[in-house]
Structure 1
Amino acid sequence: MTRFLHLADIHLGRQQYGVPQRATDAKLSFQHALSQVSAEDADAILLPGDLFDSRDVRPETLASVEDVLADVEVPVIVSPGNHDQNMSRRRDLTWLQYLNNKGLITLLSADFADDRVSFAPTDAESPREGGGGYVDLETDEGTVRVFGVQYRGAYMERQIPVVVDGIEAVNAAEGEPAATVVLAHFGVDDAVPDLGATVSVASLTPLMDAVDYVALGHIHKRYEVENVYNPGSLEAFSVQEGRWDDAHGYYVVDAADWSADHRVSKRRPYVTVEFDVSGYRTFDDLRAAFEDAVRDEQGRVESVCSNAEFQTGDGSRRDPIVNLRLTGTLLLDHVAFDVDALRDITEETLGALYVQPTDNTERKAIQELLGDIDRDEAFAADGTVNTDALQERVFTTLAEESRYSTAADDVAATLDELEGLVTEDDAGVGEAASYLRERRRELFPDGVGEPGETDEAAAAEGGEAE
């Protein structure tokens, strides 16, 4: 019985939040999945894209993946994803081609030219220099022919018919295999809307009909559509992805009937801690309540971290990534609201690898503004909203609540002018930034700190210099 492991979106080298340990996490998840080859009795590994997180691979990442792949005793068949390549810039040799030429992977890509697609043959034991387009694997069930299609972005949907033509041309010329598999890197919009998918099921149907198994990557969340399978990334790489239970892992594919069983991958846990800042008039009071609230979360966090998929190979705890959601109405001055201090408390109390704050609080002054605007000011005679008046009040309040409050009226006027430059005059980012710099010099020639303090002095104390 022939079996395959289908995994995708490894993103080796990704240092999420600038934390080096996150690059190690990606490697460990990959290693663990590969270590299951023997236990799952797999004959080959299918990896449709994003082995690397970037085309510019750090030397330590490359050395690490070479070591990992050298220990794999079955073919590792790879097609390029959007992070593995740059469609607008070609190099003589990509890192995937380098690994292919060393015999560590079998790289598959289609040749697109003049609205036609062709696939060059390669061999898993001795890969074609630079990579090929398809490889034949001899199995107990007969020849399994595996094709690879690299990431094509928005072009993919309309190129599916010519991809099918290319596959059928190879099968006609070389003889029909026992089964056909295609590796590709795109998302199916009907299955995972709002996650960057670009291909509809209707457009994909000709490919689904032409092959036995469509092995996808690109979307980091697991989904399945008939004979189309997307395993999700091995690691979660955002707070949103961290909330997807059982959505990260790999498939064990049975070539007897092309069924696929999903296995959850080993990864780092994400937890969300929420705190309502409403009602506290001093930061000391808020901090004391926050410390109590975070201590109360310890049991829940430890329960999450104790799940098998979140532990290391030897069963040890993996420190979680914590999303700190701050909500409610803030009564404090924004300067006194020390989010970094709250982050440090969370990290220490919960033993977190990293804490990512999300400030969803509302300033009391802004809330009062929205509830306090006189109806005659907010609405014109015909009952429509007076957007100019509302905008003026909002800009004024924002200016009064900022570190530029000493010139609130002028700052509000600047915001209003900037809004006009962008929405009416179609000013670009550079022009808008230039306007803001000029106005800042006019309004605050001595800087934005205490009277007489320069921007350079403010920067030395942790502020922003121009």
Structure 2
Amino acid sequence: MMQPIKFIHMADTHLGNQQYNLPERKRDFNKAFNWVLNKSITEEVDFILLAGDVFNSNNSEPETIAAIYQMISEFKNNSMQNLKREIPIIAIEGNHDKSNISTKRSWLQFLAELELIILLSPKTNNKEEYTIFKFVPYSENKKNPGMIRIKDTCIYGIPSYGAMTKTYFPDIYNALPDSSDTFNILMMHFGINGQVINKLGFEMSEDLKLLHKKVNYLALGHFHKKYALPKNKEWVFNPGSLEVTDAREIWENYPRGIFLVEVHDKENPNIRHIPWVKGKSESPDEIPNRFFADITIDIGKNDSSSFKEALSYILESLKIILEKKGTAHLKKNDLELPIVLLTLNGTISYSRLEVNINKLKERIKEKYDVLDVRVFSGSVKSEIDGIVVDISSEKSLEEIEKDVFLQLIEQHPDYEPHKNDIIQLMLDLKSSILDPKKNFDQLRNQIKLWWRSHISLPQGELNKN
């Protein structure tokens, strides 16, 4: 019989995310993270897994670092007072956490040096055709461990490698020991294809499936939507983000939250998903999030002859919806004070150029208690000018880059079957080239390794520089 263990698996906390340039949103993300820390004490877990993208950016401001320092320090003190022991936070770096051109170290490395978290990363030795991974135990090297054992559970951690990740699956398998007497957790940061619309991920390939022979629980981060795979025989788990990071997560009703896992028998772990909830909650099993009011109004319905008339119609329509939520006189730190996601659609009889989004936002903020208003008008059409404004103004820089790369790739039909993988590779290479610690020989070898695993070319062509 193995020693029972209990743990929380979370990811994509994105601390420091001042979404929509709202300082209060940064505090919302802190609240969600702190809720999970308190929940872990209540549940008396053995450890917490934090599977990457802890920070929204490695260029986080001092305010964010000070806040997480205080939260984790208080958490360690509270766990000692309540449980007479500390609950270790075991983390890996996600793509948002890694050092970049302006920083030589990541903030997670800094937190690990302060002994606030345990940051896992294997030692690597890159060869021409493969990579050697070595998971150094925490008991042997507390500064740069690749794994840690707690009771009869072994936790291995690998940071985000972007598009190169799937080429490393066979090397990771070879590096993992055959430990049939322990419950083995592997923590990584990547997504699985098909789980999130328009998000690049990896297929459940044979190389990935092979890891299950040595891994009981694959703890993922990266995609902000909860999933567990394969169906009915789950061993791959992604909890989703703690807070809303993008309007699409509301529109597509992403399930998100954390996993609370209890293991008495390693073949049959008890896994419970604790979800988020809009606004405040008295339930101990719901993670309070900022309330987002998702509202759609057809501005062609009331036969307005001008946007000025449509504006009055919109404000009157919102009165019914917003006042039902009882939002009057709420403070900014109250999670019930909503961010309004207002989608306008319909066919109008006046010019599309008359639609004044800034004026609309201004009037809504004047009339109602809201934290912010985001307006999406891409579906509004005009009978007289046919102008349709795309919603692309709301696209992130990463989405714009992906669109540009996709257009470049589509000029070469031979690469069509690999377009998603190539886009991810291009994004990763851009980040690597900007990295102050870049190694061009290593980058060259990584490109060759990626190419061998995706594109069939004669060996002589591949070896050309």
Q: Distance in 2 between matches of 1:283 and 1:116?
A: 61
Contact (CA 8 Å) 2:48, 2:88: kept in 1 or not?
yes
1:292–1:127 distance in 2 versus 1, CA, 3 Å: farther
* Residue of structure 2 equivalent to 1:219: 223
1:227–1:331 distance in 2 versus 1, CA, 3 Å: same
* Residue of structure 2 equivalent to 1:164: 173
Q: CA RMSD in A?
A: 2.9
Please say if 1:359 is aligned against 2:381: no
After TM superposition, the runs of 4+ consecutive aligned structure 1 residues lying more than 6 A away are none
**For residue 213 of structure 1, what is the amino acid of its counterpart?**
Y
| 1:58-113 superposed Cα distances (whole Å, 9 cap, x missing partner) | 11111111111112330000011000015x75954321111111100000112332
1:351–1:203 distance in 2 versus 1, CA, 3 Å: farther
**For residue 236 of structure 1, what is the amino acid of its counterpart?**
V
1:262 aligned to which of 262, 273, 277: 273
Contact (CA 8 Å) 1:10, 1:30: kept in 2 or not?
yes
1:190–1:335 distance in 2 versus 1, CA, 3 Å: closer
**For residue 259 of structure 1, what is the amino acid of its counterpart?**
N
* Residue of structure 1 equivalent to 2:213: 209
* Residue of structure 1 equivalent to 2:185: 181
**For residue 56 of structure 1, what is the amino acid of its counterpart?**
N
* Residue of structure 2 equivalent to 1:288: 312
* Residue of structure 2 equivalent to 1:329: 347
- For residue 195 of structure 1, report the CA deviation from its aligned partner: 2.5
**For residue 98 of structure 1, what is the amino acid of its counterpart?**
F
Please say if 1:102 is aligned against 2:114: yes
Q: Distance in 1 between matches of 2:245 and 2:62?
A: 22
Once the two structures are overlaid, the 10-residue window that deviates more, 277-286 or 206-215, is 277-286
1:234 aligned to which of 228, 231, 242: 242
| 1:101-138 superposed Cα distances (whole Å, 9 cap, x missing partner) | 110000011233222232342438x9622x32111112
Any gaps of 5 or more consecutive residues in structure 2? 77-85, 276-286, 390-406, 412-465
Contact (CA 8 Å) 1:48, 1:215: kept in 2 or not?
yes
Please say if 1:247 is aligned against 2:255: yes
**For residue 160 of structure 1, what is the amino acid of its counterpart?**
F
| 1:29-57 superposed Cα distances (whole Å, 9 cap, x missing partner) | 00001110122121100011011111112
* Residue of structure 2 equivalent to 1:417: none
Report the 3-state secondary structure (helix = DSSP H, G, I; strand = E; otherwise coil) of the residue aligned with 2:17: coil
Contact (CA 8 Å) 1:271, 1:301: kept in 2 or not?
no
Report the 3-state secondary structure (helix = DSSP H, G, I; strand = E; otherwise coil) of the residue aligned with 1:362: strand
| 1:291-339 superposed Cα distances (whole Å, 9 cap, x missing partner) | 2111121255559xx9xxxx98xxx552122111111223334554322
1:247–1:127 distance in 2 versus 1, CA, 3 Å: farther
Structural mapping, 1:315-394, within 5 Å? 317-360=335-378, 361-367=380-386
Contact (CA 8 Å) 1:6, 1:252: kept in 2 or not?
yes
1:127–1:102 distance in 2 versus 1, CA, 3 Å: farther
Structural mapping, 1:438-457, within 5 Å? none
- For residue 177 of structure 1, report the CA deviation from its aligned partner: 4.9
Report the 3-state secondary structure (helix = DSSP H, G, I; strand = E; otherwise coil) of the residue aligned with 2:34: helix
* Residue of structure 1 equivalent to 2:457: none
- For residue 267 of structure 1, report the CA deviation from its aligned partner: 1.1
2:47 aligned to which of 40, 44, 49: 44
1:271 aligned to which of 270, 280, 293: 293
* Residue of structure 2 equivalent to 1:440: none
Contact (CA 8 Å) 2:6, 2:45: kept in 1 or not?
yes
Once the two structures are overlaid, the 10-residue window that deviates more, 273-282 or 346-355, is 346-355
**For residue 228 of structure 1, what is the amino acid of its counterpart?**
V
Contact (CA 8 Å) 1:100, 1:127: kept in 2 or not?
no
**For residue 45 of structure 1, what is the amino acid of its counterpart?**
I
* Residue of structure 1 equivalent to 2:138: 123
Q: Distance in 2 between matches of 1:91 and 1:293?
A: 49
Q: Distance in 2 between matches of 1:207 and 1:352?
A: 48
- For residue 262 of structure 1, report the CA deviation from its aligned partner: 0.5
Report the 3-state secondary structure (helix = DSSP H, G, I; strand = E; otherwise coil) of the residue aligned with 1:155: helix
Contact (CA 8 Å) 1:330, 1:363: kept in 2 or not?
yes
**For residue 369 of structure 2, what is the amino acid of its counterpart?**
G
Contact (CA 8 Å) 2:352, 2:381: kept in 1 or not?
no
Which has the larger Rg?
1
* Residue of structure 1 equivalent to 2:95: 82
- For residue 236 of structure 1, report the CA deviation from its aligned partner: 1.0
- For residue 20 of structure 1, report the CA deviation from its aligned partner: 1.1
**For residue 263 of structure 1, what is the amino acid of its counterpart?**
I
1:336–1:90 distance in 2 versus 1, CA, 3 Å: closer
1:61–1:127 distance in 2 versus 1, CA, 3 Å: farther
Q: Distance in 2 between matches of 1:92 and 1:339?
A: 42
1:302–1:187 distance in 2 versus 1, CA, 3 Å: farther
Q: Distance in 1 between matches of 2:87 and 2:67?
A: 18
Contact (CA 8 Å) 1:221, 1:244: kept in 2 or not?
no
Report the 3-state secondary structure (helix = DSSP H, G, I; strand = E; otherwise coil) of the residue aligned with 1:180: strand
Any gaps of 5 or more consecutive residues in structure 1? 368-393, 399-421, 427-466
Report the 3-state secondary structure (helix = DSSP H, G, I; strand = E; otherwise coil) of the residue aligned with 1:328: strand
Contact (CA 8 Å) 1:243, 1:270: kept in 2 or not?
no
Percent identical pairs in the alignment equals: 26
Report the TM-score when normalising by structure 1: 0.69
* Residue of structure 2 equivalent to 1:382: none
* Residue of structure 1 equivalent to 2:282: none
Q: Distance in 1 between matches of 2:69 and 2:137?
A: 21
